[in-house]
Chains A and B, each alone.
Chain A
Amino acid sequence: MVEPAVALFGGAYEEASRVLEELLRESGARYALLLDRKGFVLAHKEALWAPRPPALDSLATLIAGNAAATQALAKMLGEPRFNELLHQGSAFGLYVEEVGELALLVVIFDNTAPVGRVKLYGKRAAQALEPITKDAVVNPGQVGIDSEYRDGASALLDELFGN
């Protein structure tokens, strides 16, 4: 299939988490997420001082949808894509930087974090994350998704949706 599967685990996941952690510390932002372009969360970190974040699945889906829409806009203007997106409200801001072809870095910050800092450290983090996500592309067959998995999941389908 065209869209490769990204699987972040083990050392690569640790490394990605470390990059996100450092990004939060340096920028003063609240939350940092690494998403794939389909809107699935690959890794995320929250600053300890920040309140609980909104539903991450919804966030990730909307951001991926938004990034896809702006990419389509960019193409109409003769650009392959926009590398960064910045949304700024009165109290909160959202910064999205692309991480290679497959992933997006998302930083959510409030007005205690200067935008310039978020952008500077966001770009650095995106550069650090790019090789990590590139190496994380796998074939699901390598990771134990087999007929046993299929039968187990199938039984759960019956349990959830009835026979």
Chain B
Amino acid sequence: MSTINFAAREINFKIVYYGPGMSGKTTNLKWVFQQVPENRKGEMVSLATEDERTLFFDFLPVDLGEVKGFKTRFHLYTVPGQVFYNASRKLILRGVDGIVFVADSAPNRLRANAESMRNLRENLAEYGIKLEDIPIVLQANKRDVPEALPVEMIQAVIDPEKRLPIFEAVATTGVGVFETLKAVSREVLSRVASAG
């Protein structure tokens, strides 16, 4: 759950970008980092290998501004997508308030999308959280790849009941990046407000 620091009058939310390896989670964060003005963001921290694959996580704090006297901040995290990094992936989910699932539109990654969603469900279950309990927004990324699969087909494997909002994106050029982040942020905020 959100962390409230009254002394600094801050409310903090944790948003995690999840998804299979190379689907564009870090690219989403990098775009946000590039576009958000200097005074609204902190440092971006990346724990990556030499070939820039995320090893542990990427982290970016974003200041929304002041609401009702409280500074509101979103802490954005990514997880490493590669299958064998599950131990560290699970750690990043601790205390998460909202999730962006970044799916890859490439035809040969359809199965990887499905496996990553199953892995998300299993990891959340270890914290006693069900998919329905937490705001999740889907992003069909890499819409620009040749022979990108139809969004419906991607949705069919990661969200067959079509419960979750889905956004199309090309994270390298910023298409859909803010829309996705706004959508998940709104859901997190309304969840917190109604919990009161």
Contact = CB atoms under 8 A, between A and B. Distances in A.
Interface stretch (B20-28, B64-72, B138-146, B164-172): B64-72
Nearest to A68: B91
A4 B3 CA distance: 9
B47 to A, nearest CB: 8
B43 A55 contact: yes
Interface string A130-154: 0000000011111111111110111
B1 A156 contact: no
A82 interface: no
A145 B49 CA distance: 40
A51 B147 CA distance: 55
B36 interface: yes
Given A38-B94, A38-B95, A149 B193 contact: yes
Given A140-B195, A141-B196, A7 B189 contact: no
A158 B178 CA distance: 10
A159 interface: yes
Interface residues of A, number: 52
A139 B4 CA distance: 10
Contact of B7 (A9, A57, A69, A162): A9
Nearest to B45: A58
Interface in A1-45: 1-10, 13, 17, 36-43
Contact of B129 (A2, A17, A141, A149): A2
Contact of A150 (B57, B62, B193): B193
Given A69-B91, A140-B192, A157-B186, A8 B5 contact: yes
A28 to B, nearest CB: 25
Contacts of A114: none
B129 A157 contact: no
A65 interface: yes
A161 to B, nearest CB: 4
A160 interface: yes
B118 interface: no
Interface of A: 1-10, 13, 17, 36-43, 55, 57-58, 61-62, 65, 68-69, 72, 138-150, 152-154, 156-162
13 contacts: A2-B129, A7-B6, A9-B6, A39-B75, A40-B5, A41-B5, A145-B11, A145-B193, A150-B189, A152-B67, A152-B68, A153-B189, A154-B186
